[in-house]
Amino acid sequence: MLTASHEHAQTVVLTDFDHTLFDAVGFKDLLQVTSCAVLGLDPRVYESAYARIRGEMFRGFSAGAFFEAMALEGAELDEVQQQMYRGVLEDLTRDTSRFVYADVVQFVRTMRTWDAIPVIVSFGDIEFQHLKLHGSGLEAFLPDVRFFEQDGDIKDEMIAKAVADYPEARFAYIDDRGDLIDRAKRAFPDMIAMKIARPGTTYEHTETRLADNIITSFQNLPYLLASCLSCAQGDHDDHSHEDHGHTHDAL
């Protein structure tokens, strides 16, 4: 059921979380360095175990998934080591604000000032993702958060669900993966879709054929979105005028 703010908002901005709002690479690197130092782990084994989680295990990162991956590497952690690792993870997620990209806070503040609704739609272990988000200080600006644990087509379904939940809204979508941008754009051609290619991120160089823009930061993004949405509305009004002999008020 929509809240009053949802009913009157004109724009919904669907956004990914990791590599888009949050420096997941930086967090992962600090977690690895700290864990290896505290637990005496081999960094090469740690790196290989971490890669297994999104590889053959096809899961989002969590402490439990990491323990399973380490066992598959032949480096199973005992109960004391597992407790120590959970302690490191708890300490690092208590305050994750340093991993929020510098341009993000101003972006979400501007969106809320303009009565736009930022909606997170992002893959990952739900508990772990919420820990990162809670520690980031962004929750106050993000009224609608949708994390999901299955990768693949489920993101298409989550985007479709978000679109259905805001039937009167205009939509923009921001993601670091070009393939997901293209799939969303095919499903919703009127959606403004932007690929974020932050330098050094995992999917920086993934290709997209359908993105309306490719950006490297959120600097001036609110104004770019406003321009794109205005142009899209103008095109819609022009077509409406041609088809019906009159124009519609802007949303």
* Residue 249: predicted pLDDT: 30
Domain C-terminal end among 94, 110, 139 = 94
Q: How many CB atoms within 10 Å of residue 134?
A: 14
Given a cut of 80, is residue 39 above it in pLDDT?
yes
At 17, list the tokens: 């979380």
pLDDT bucket at 151, cuts 50 / 70 / 90: low
pLDDT bucket at 231, cuts 50 / 70 / 90: confident
Question: 80 and 62 in one domain?
Answer: yes
pLDDT bucket at 240, cuts 50 / 70 / 90: very low
Residues 79-99 have pLDDT tens digits of: 999 999 999 999 999 999 999
pTM of the model: 0.86
- Domain total for the chain? 2
In a domain, 250, yes or no: no
* Residue 9: predicted pLDDT: 44
Question: 128 and 37 in one domain?
Answer: no
* Domain housing 191: 4-22+100-244
Q: How many CB atoms within 10 Å of residue 51?
A: 12
Domain C-terminal end among 50, 66, 94 = 94
Read off the amino acid at residue 189. P
Q: Tokens 């990491």 identify what position? A: 66
Give the highest mean pLDDT range of 142-146, 223-227, 238-242: 142-146
Question: 105 and 74 in one domain?
Answer: no
Q: What value does the mean pLDDT take over residues 152-162?
A: 86
Question: 84 and 117 in one domain?
Answer: no
Question: 214 and 105 in one domain?
Answer: yes
CB 218 within 8 A of CB 111: no
Question: 105 and 14 in one domain?
Answer: yes
Q: Which long-range contacts (CB under 8 A, 24 or more apart) does 146-152 make?
A: 146/119, 146/120, 146/121, 146/122, 147/17, 147/120, 147/122, 147/123, 148/121, 148/122, 148/123, 149/59, 149/60, 149/123, 149/124, 149/125, 150/123, 151/58, 151/60, 151/123
In a domain, 251, yes or no: no
User: What CATH number did the domain enclosing 9 receive?
Assistant: 3.40.50.1000
